[in-house]
Each structure stands twice: as C-alpha cells, then as structure tokens.
Structure 1
Amino acid sequence: MSFDRRAFLRHAALGATGLTAGASLRGGAEPPATAALPGFDERGPEEFWRAVRAQFPISRALAYFNTGGLGPAAQPALATAAETTRRLQEQCEHGHALFADARADVARFLGAEPAEIAFVRNATEGNAIVAAGLRRAPGDEIIFESHAHPGGSFPWFNQEKLRGVVVKLFEPDVQSAAGNVARIAGLLTPRTRVVQVSHVTAPTGIVMPVADIARLCRERGVWFHIDGAQSAGMFPFALRELGCESFATSGHKWIGAPHETGVLWVRRDRLGDVAPTLVGAYSGELDFLPGELRLADTALRYEYGTRNAGAVLALAAATRFQEQIGRGRIAARGRALAAQVRAGLARLPGVEILTPEAPELCASMIAFRAPAVPFDRLFDRLFKDHAMRCRPVSEQKLNAVRVSTHVFNSPAECAALVAAVGKILRTA
C-alpha cells in the first residue's frame, strides 16, 4: 500500500476533530472545547479568555503559574499528537513525509525560512548542538549570563571540559538594557568567539536587549546564540530580525506543545559553521557504502533517525493555535496579568520584587521573595494550602518564587495569588 501524504493529512485532520469532540480527560480537567473562539471584545474580554482556557486540560482545582517551567499543551496540539500517532500506527509508517508542512508552519511562526528549522527535543538539545558543533580551540572564550538555565549553560561547561574553551559570565543588569550590553562588551577580548544570552532569563524573567547585543557581536565578529526557551510563545518576534546566528527554543513551555518538542534555528548562510555531531538517516545522503556522506544543505542536517511525528505535528498545531488567538494579544495578556501580580505584591509589607519594572526589561514572569518566609516554604504553602503552582528559584542564591502568567490564567487567579501570599506572610 502506498503512502498518500495528502490523504493522510485530510484523514488526520478529520480524526483530530473527532478526538477533540469525543475525548474525556481524567482528574477533574477542563473538557475539551471544539467551538471556534468567540470574537475578542476589548470592552469585555474575559469571555474570550475563558474560551481559550477551555482549550487547556488544566484541573479546575489548580491555579497554574509555572509556564516558564512546563506549560500545558493546548487541546489542538494534544488532539493532533494522538490522532497522528494512531493513524501512523495503523499504516505502520514513520510520518517523515508530514514534516514539510509542519516545518513551514513553525518557520512562519518564528519568522524564518523552513530550510533553517530543525526539529529537536527541546531548547537544551538545540543549545547543545550549537555548543558542540561550532569549531572552537582551547582558550577560546564563551560569554553568557550567570542566570542561564542549565539547558543553556551545561553544554558550554561540557565544552570547557572537552575542548578547553573558557566560560566567562556576566551578572544581568536589572536597571538598564544598555547595562547588559555594556557588561558583555566589558568581557569581550580578541579570544571571544561566542556570546549567548537567554532571550528571557529563567530565574527572574529579565528580557535581554538581543538586537543591541547582536549589533555588538556583529561589530566584533562574534557568533551570537540565543536561548529562546522562554520567549517563543510569550511574545512575537521574527528570528530574521533579531540579528543572531542561531536560536533554540522549546515547545513545551509558552508555545503550548507536548513534551519533547523544540526547534533549532541556524541562519541559512551560517549552517556550514555548525557541524552536526550526531547524524543518521535523514541527515543527508549516502548512496553506496563505502562512499561520501553528503549532509543536507538545510537544517535537516541536525535531524536523524525515526522521530515522533505526532509530537512534531503537534508543535505545528500549537503554533497555529497561538496565531488563532493572536500573538500580540497573547503578549499583552501575559504582560497585563504579570503587572497585576506585581502591583499586588508591591503592596504587601516585606515583599521584594526581583524582576525589573521597565517595560523593555520585563514581560510575563515575576520573581519575588519575602525574607520573613523562606522561599521554599512559601512555594510549598502556596501549592499545598492554596493549590497554586509557582516555581521556587534557588539559582544564584536568589531564594525567590517565580510566577508565570499566560493565556489560561485570569485576573481572578492573580488576585487570589496575591491574597494567598499576604495570608502566608501574616501567619508566618
């Protein structure tokens, strides 16, 4: 039986609709919603956002504020993953023929060319491919911020062990975007080869001035890589306009895709500078053995072996769902809810907010601490006593709690969070 990609996609789309309409989820989750989202009315937007919330299988009993760690997948993504997997199993096919359309969707979402997009497991894998693939010599210097997530820092510390590169760190400036550029500039030397920053830092949600950093790197001939695990899906941008050479992100946070979905982007004209360190079927061509392996002249060179096509197509479905909501609308909603949390926390005695307030330095995450209550105890009581899932921040001894606000959160939840923190502090 031949594999008809068009027929498969047609049947998968029909099946995904049926799955969404008929499936039920355990554990008090929201029932799947299949109706189109209502029109957005700025005079009364909560009806729209309740419909968006219904597309996420979050328990009604839980106020979830940890999208920066692990976001729930949207129902359209879950349905696509399940139905694609089922139909591929029925036909005993791997589904790689379906990747082209998914790649085009994800490329459009990120403002890139499909040829520049590699599907990876997460931002960590994308960061690791860049760190291992760039040709570096002992003594070459790599600069990144002290707030880098392990998924961004560990690959370079590993290269420090393996190849003798030198890692140099800068402390993020919470007062000024220009200050972050200056701190990087102060570390540059003739041996600097790579600058990497988190687009949005994981511990405290600082938005880095990536366009200005890109300009500095370009002037000095330094490779600029962005760990975009927190930014993709939080606010819109176009990769081709950021000025970096490479970028990695995860689907399982703000985009709303399942676990083990991610993207590595390498600018088309720089693909030859990042050597694939793991290759296999689909990375290129080799007609006869022995012979010469011809790597793909696209980012496909970083993909290898049989993949979970259901997850890849689910990532594309999640990007389409974000576009349906409206990417600017998503960014504005997350920012407004974070501002509400900030304003409420600022009124509580003894609370210190670590995330900058300047609009260019913050977005949809707020980190705070209250010295009267240890951060881990505060996190624990929010979760156990109030069913509010935040994220404890122990990195760099920040000893804080981080709150992420996304499309499924509501003003009522944010008000309840502030009230819960106040109650915990009063009874400490």
Structure 2
Amino acid sequence: MALSRRAVIAGAGALAALPQALPQAPPQAVPQAAAAADADADAASLARDERFWAEVAGQFRVSGDFVNLENGYYGIMPEPVRRAYHRNVDVLNARNSHLLRTAYKGRADEVRDRIAALLGVTRAEIALTRGGTEALQNLISGYRRLRPGDAVLYADLDYPSAQHTMNWLAGRREATVARFVLPEPATRQAALDAYERALRTTPRARLLLLSHMNNRTGLVLPVREIVAMARERGVDVVVDAAHSWGQLDFTLPALGADFAAFSLHKWIGAPLGTGFLYIRRDRLADVEPVLGDESFPAGDIRSRVHSGTMDVAAPLTVPDALDFHLRLGAAVKQARLRHLRDRWVSQVRDLPGLQILTPDEPGMYGAITAFRIAGRTSTADNEAVAATLLDTYGLYTVARTGMAGGDAVRVTPALFTSAAQVDRLAAALRRLTPRLRA
C-alpha cells in the first residue's frame, strides 16, 4: 500500500514536536507519501483499513459521552493542530501589537499562498475571512452588476445565511428574488434540468447562488456544468464551497467558478473563525470593497473583507491544518468519508419507510447525508428523531429544515468515526423506523 499508517502518524507526531515559538511556514510541496496514495485504488483500499483509521482517530481528542455524527457544523482540530493553535495564542498574547503590526502581515500572505497553491489559483485571488458565511455575504452583497429589475436565483437547499443575503438584494439593489426547488433524491441529470429550467424561466437572472455541497442534505452538484450553463445566459455564479473543500478532492479551475466562498474550520480542521473568499483576478472589479473599505487599494482583493481586529492565532494555525490534510491526502479523505457514508446507508437504503435524501450516484455525495422517516416531515418530528437517537442510542445527529419536501435528520461522520459507529447508527435506524412510520 502506497501510504502506510506509520507515515501518517509519524508525520503528525513530528508536527506536534514543533518548538514553542511562532512556527515558520512549512514547505508547500505535498509529502510524497500522500501524493503516492492519490490513485483511486490505493485510496479506496486505505478507506477500509480500520486499524489505520483507529490510529488517525487517535490524533483527535473526542468526547466519549456520545458518538458524534454531527460533524458538519465544524470539524474539530486534530491534536497537532490544536497544540499549534494554543502555541500561537500564547505567542499572540505575549507579543501583542508587535506581532499584529509586523510578522503577521507576511505570515497571512504565506497562508494565502498555500491555499492558492493547493486550489490551483494565485494569492491575489484569495482573501482570508472568518468563515464561509462572511465570505458568502461579502461576495453577494458586494456584487455590483445588478440593475433594478434584474433577478437573483437560489435553490431551497442553499445555505440559509446566503439565502438571506440574496433576499437582501431586493431592497439594496432592487432585484427580483427567485427561489426554486431541487428534486429529492436528485440525480445528476435531474439537478442539471432543475438549474436549466430555473435559468430559462428567469430571463432577467444575473446572479446565481450555487452550493457545491449543501449543508442540509449533503447533495453534491455538478458545479462546472451549471456554471457553464449560467455563463451562456449571462448569469454570474457565487459558489458556496464551505462544505466541499477538505471533504472532496478538487481544485478551483475544475469548478470553473469566478466567485467562491470557503471555510477552513470545517473539513480542513483549522481553528474556528477561518475561511476565505475567491475572486478570479479579472473579475475583482465586479465585487465592490466592503462598506467602502480603504484599508487596501481597490485593486487588492483584501479590500473585499474587513473583519476588524481578529484572533490572528487562528489563521496562523491554518498551515498546520493544511499539513495534516496533506499527510492524509484529499483523495484518501474523500474515499474514507464516502466509505463511512456508504456503509451505513447500504444497511438501511431499502428499509421501508426510511427515505435517504442523498443519491448513491458517484460524485453526488460525500460524508453528509440526510434521512427522513415517512410521514415525519415537521421540525418537531425530526428534532424528536434526533433526540431519540441521542438519548436511547448515544448517537448525536441534527435535525435540518428548509427542504421543500420537509425536514430531515442529517448524519455526518468524520475522520475519527469508526465503521462500528456507523454500523451502530444503521442498527438504531432499523429498530427505530418501524416504530415511527406513519
């Protein structure tokens, strides 16, 4: 096998042994062991190696009070990253304004360089934010090509805060807001048809919000094809990639997007309060500086974010998170997370009365998957299901709302989740579903 468990764990241990000082920027090259494991066969084989993943799980400090299957909110830091964050907090506290006014500026640029290199773009196209929400809000609210009467589009599965910002454009830009519904469970073609129909029936559309992987059901959309479809009609697209990067293996050029928002504290495992936005270099003028910011020239993407004085220990720790990400490799992480999802879904997919809202079609899902028990479509129904899973079976999940077909329960395993834990979920659903069917 190209990537040994010892290579990953030893590498993580080396990170933990860094000196107690502001760490230097690590090399940008992908470690050879991880690169060698990018072949699909190797990644798929490693995804099933429970001994390997038990050792990876040992790199996370996880509560034993319950099985956490709600890792879509944010992804906890592995121990090498958590320790690096604490060191950076101590350095920031000790050096205070001197760090903020001197070394931090260069280090922030190094973080942007590393992100850009991994995504196949340039530093000039990346601006750090406090998360995916801030990135989405700045891209949408700052989009300056709308004229009174133009329309903006989003789907029922898009992120609530981003929907709210799109709605805000009605008053701010005098735009018409159009919402459409994605089929469930969707197929790739059905999703493409839904976007084609929405674009065709909204001829004045100028801006589309598009979730690469939505946070409600985990459906993964064919972004490149939808972006191309929209571009043909003169519609710009803001891609929400907050959940996809670190969970799926891709680069920005593969998406074809001009504008995108990312989180680093979800599937990259950086500290809370880290993310970034992307604007393709030749499209920067189409997003205005945030609130007229003059801290940077208008030609600098950093003028599209102004977060005030931040806890810079968080972005300073992003390189450590990227190191951990790379030691496993994006392809290996993707394969493991899909394997865990496939394992529990395959055991309940044909269970009468249980609806799996994310399709099995390759490329249409990652770790996140939602289910609904027939007839149980209200918020109260699904909060009760999630409560029963926790109180009776020790499994923590979360109820999700906003889908046109009704509420559901979201399940999100993580890198520290074992096969036995998702088997436990499947067994619980086999017992619970017959009792709750309408």
**TM-score class, shorter:** 0.7 to 0.9
Question: Are residue 311 (structure 1) and residue 314 (structure 2) matched?
Answer: yes
Task: Tell me if structure 2 keeps the 8 A contact 1:251–1:261.
Answer: yes
Q: CA deviation at 1:91?
A: 1.7
SS in 2 for 1:230: coil
- What whole-Å deviation, never above 9, does each CA across 1:369-423 have from its counterpart, x for those lacking one? 2237632211001122222111212223522111112211111100011112223
Question: Does 2:223 align with 1:210?
Answer: yes
What secondary structure is seen at the aligned counterpart in 2 of 1:186? Answer: helix
Deviation (angstroms), 1:252 = 2.2
Letter in 2 for 1:132: S
Q: Percent identity?
A: 30
Which of residues 394, 397, 420 is equivalent to 1:390? Answer: 397
Residues 125 and 301 in structure 2, CA contact (< 8 A), matched pair in contact too: yes
Q: Residue deviations 1:52-77, cap 9 Å, x none?
A: 21222211332111122222122233
Q: Establish whether residue 150 from structure 1 lines up as the match of residue 153 from structure 2.
A: no
Matched, 1:117 2:126: yes
Q: 1:73 to 1:410 in 2, by over 3 A?
A: same
TM-score (norm 1): 0.84
Q: Which residue, out of 354, 358, 365, partners 2:357? A: 354
Is residue 282 of structure 2 the alignment partner of residue 269 of structure 1? yes
Aligned to 2:55: 51
Contact 1:109 1:319 survives alignment (8 Å): no
Partner of 2:77: 73
1:241-390 aligned within 5 A: 241-278=254-291, 280=293, 283-284=295-296, 294-295=297-298, 297-304=299-306, 305-371=308-374, 374-390=381-397
Indicate which of 186, 189, 195 corresponds to 1:184: 195
CA contact (8 A) 1:105 1:320 kept: no
Q: Secondary structure at the match of 1:358?
A: coil
2:141 equivalent to 1:132:
yes
Specify which of 403, 406, 427 is matched with residue 419 of structure 1: 427
Residue 229 of structure 2: SS of its match in structure 1? Answer: helix
Residue 237 in structure 1 maps to residue 245 in structure 2: no
Q: Which amino acid aligns with 1:385?
A: T
Tell me the distance in 2 between the aligned counterparts of 1:84 and 1:280: 28
Unaligned runs of 5+ in 2: 1-14, 24-32
Residue in 2 aligned with 1:89? 93
> Taking CA–CA contacts closer than 8 Å with sequence separation of 6 or more, which of the two structures ends up with the larger relative contact order?
2
Deviates more, 1:227-236 or 1:383-392: 383-392
Aligned amino acid, residue 19 of structure 2:
L
The 2-side partners of 1:361 and 1:192 are apart by 26
Query: What is the distance in 2 between the residues matched to 1:13 and 1:141?
Result: 52
| SS of match in other structure, 1:361 | coil
Q: Which of the residues 394, 410, 419 maps onto 2:418? A: 410
What's the TM-score, normalizing by structure 2?
0.82
Give the corresponding residue for 2:4.
none
CA distance in 2, matches of 1:279, 1:47: 54
SS of corresponding position for 1:97: helix
Q: Distance in 1 between matches of 2:117 and 2:80?
A: 18
Q: Deviations over 1:188-224 (max 9, x none)?
A: 3442111121101221111111010111122222211
Say how many residue pairs are matched.
390
* Paired residues of 2:136 and 2:162 also in contact (CA < 8 A): yes
| Matched AA of 2:73 | G
What root-mean-square deviation, in Å, do the aligned CA atoms of Structure 1 and Structure 2 show? 2.7
For 2:329 and 2:91, locate their aligned partners in 1 and report how far apart those are by CA, in whole Å: 30
